Amino acid sequence: MSVSSNASSASRNGSVDDSTTTTTTNTEGSELTHILNRRQEIMDSLEAGIEVPRSFKVVNVYTEFHEFSRKQIKDYQKTFNTYDTARDGFLDLNELKYMMEKLGAPQTHLGLKRMIAEVDEDHDGKISFREFLLIYRKAQAGELDNDSGLNQLARLTEIDVEQVGVNGAKSFFEAKIEQQLQSNKFHDEIRQEQEERRREDEERVQRRQQFQQRAAIFQ
C-alpha cells in the first residue's frame, strides 16, 4: 500500500513537473494571446460597468524583445528603476513627469497622458517595464514622431544624464536631430537628382519621337 501510494505520488509529481516545463515553453507563444484577451476583458467589463481586477503575468522580456541585447535591456531596466520612485514596477503620470523634467524635456499634462496612452496596452494608466521597452522598439522602428515626447525620452536616455547633466543631454539630443536632418537632406538631394535624370530621359524620348514624326513626313 505504501509502495503504491509512493508511486502514485511520484506520478503526480512527475505530471506537475511536465506541466511546469510545458507552461514555460509556451510562455512566449501565449504572450500575444494574453494581451488580446486581457484587452477584450477590460473592454467587455467597462461596457457592463464592472471593474476588472488587475492581473499579473511574468513576461520574459529577453525573449520577447529579441532585437535588444541583454545588456541593453538591463540598461533600460536601470533607467526605468531610477524613475520608478514608488518601487511598484510602474511609471505613473507623476513619475513620468519627473523623468521628462530630469531629462530636460518637460511635457504638459496632456502630453504626458498621450505618452502613456501610446504604449499602455493594458489600459491601466501606467507604464510597466514591458511597455517601457515598447518605447525603444517603436523608436528603433521609426514609428515615433521626431517631436513626440516618447521619441525625446528614447533619445535622451541613450546617454547617462546623471553624468553629463541636462545641458549635455540636450546637446546630445540636438546633435542627433541635426544628424538626422543632415541625413534627410542627403536623401532629398539624391531624390532631386533622380527626378532631374528622369525628366531628362523623358525629354530625350519626346525629342526622338518628334524627330521621327517629322522625318516620316518626308518619306
Question: Domain check: are 142 and 79 in the same one?
Answer: yes
Question: Domain check: are 182 and 202 in the same one?
Answer: yes
State the cell numbers at 219. Answer: 518619306
Look up residue 112 and give its amino acid: L
164 in a structural domain: no
Question: Domain check: are 183 and 136 in the same one?
Answer: no
pLDDT recorded at residue 24: 40
| Element counts in the chain: helices (H) and strands (E) | 8, 2
Residue 23 has pLDDT above 90, yes or no: no
21 in a structural domain: yes
Question: Domain check: are 48 and 100 in the same one?
Answer: no
Task: Determine the 3-state secondary structure of 59 from DSSP.
Answer: coil
166 in a structural domain: no
37 in a structural domain: yes
Q: What share of the chain is helix, strand, coil (3-state, %, to 5)?
A: 75, 0, 25
165 in a structural domain: no
Question: Domain check: are 80 and 48 in the same one?
Answer: no
Instruction: Identify the domain containing residue 149 by its residue range.
Output: 68-158
pLDDT per position as a tens digit, 144-184: 998 899 999 998 987 654 554 555 555 555 555 555 556 55
Longest dimension (CA), the chain: 115
Question: Domain check: are 212 and 154 in the same one?
Answer: no
The model's pTM is: 0.51
Of 48 and 80, the one with more pLDDT: 80
Q: In the chain, how many domains are there?
A: 3
pLDDT per position as a tens digit, 74-127: 999 999 999 999 999 999 999 999 999 999 999 999 999 999 999 999 999 999
Question: Domain check: are 116 and 182 in the same one?
Answer: no
Residue 188 has pLDDT above 80, yes or no: no
